[in-house]
Homo-oligomer: A and B are copies of this chain.
Amino acid sequence: MAVTVDLVVLTVRADELQALVIRRGEEPFRGEWALPGGFLDPGEDLPTAAARELEEETGIVADRFHLEQLASYGAPDRDPRMRTVTVAYIALAADLPTPRAGTDAAEAAWRPVRELLATPETLAFDHEQILRDGVERARAKLEYTPLAAAFCGREFTITELRRVYEVVWGTTLDPRNFHRKITGTTGFLEPTDATTTRDGGRPARLYRVGAATTLHPPFLR
């Protein structure tokens, strides 16, 4: 009985929700796309293993981003080699440099979630299901936690935050109502003194994430 960890790493790039996938360099499923992941080492904690596998396979250091456990998958036939149970994690990250392929991975890339889930058999193992569950978790968490900010940089504008909601949920939100609601939720945003004009037009105030961990009342889709 072997235990593995797999990661659903999500980011918002080019106005799309994208996931980090690797092209497998080893059997089984050699040459096919899969989620990054690998075997749990003896003596190693689960989140540590997740961070290690992510770095080994994609070169991305799990620094400054949100990592949480998603669920475990243990269907007896999920891995043709042997009986495995995998503990899946989701990681939410701001836009990051292009990943580089590492151990056991022939290639690493960001791919739009829409594409990965458009047709079955795109991902190895049961990774399509894991990705679906991870995306659904992320969507749900935006409703009742300030987690949308995990997709932004350290400082961000309200418009950038709104774009995250729009992209992840696939909806459009009224900028004025969004602004009112989000600034009215205590603990979500912490204003800074700085502004930016990176989006053009009038300078926008920059914010950091506040201390709140849950949103009362939640932001419903």
Which residues does A use to contact B, with CB under 8 Å? 1-3, 40, 42-46, 69, 71-76, 83, 85, 87, 216-218, 220
Contact = CB atoms under 8 A, between A and B. Distances in A.
Contact of A46 (B46, B74, B216): B74
A85 B40 contact: yes
Contact of A87 (B72, B75, B76, B217): B72
Contacts of A75: 45
B217 A40 contact: no
Nearest to A86: B72
Contacts of A216: 220
A70 B83 CA distance: 21
A193 to B, nearest CB: 35
Contacts of A220: 216-218
Contact of A1 (B1, B71, B76, B218): B1
Interchain residue pairs A-B with the least CB separation, the first 6: A46-B74, A72-B72, A72-B87, A3-B85, A43-B76, A1-B3
Nearest to A83: B42
A220 B216 CA distance: 9
B85 A85 contact: yes
A80 to B, nearest CB: 14
Q: Which of A44, A45, A74 has the most CB of B within 10 A?
A: A74
A153 B150 CA distance: 42
A204 B78 CA distance: 49
Nearest to A2: B1
7 contacts: A1-B2, A1-B40, A3-B3, A40-B74, A45-B74, A46-B74, A218-B218
Contacts of A45: 74-76
A43 B75 CA distance: 8
Given A3-B3, A46-B72, 7 more contacts: A1-B1, A1-B3, A1-B40, A3-B74, A45-B76, A216-B220, A218-B218
A120 to B, nearest CB: 21
Contacts of A46: 72-74, 85
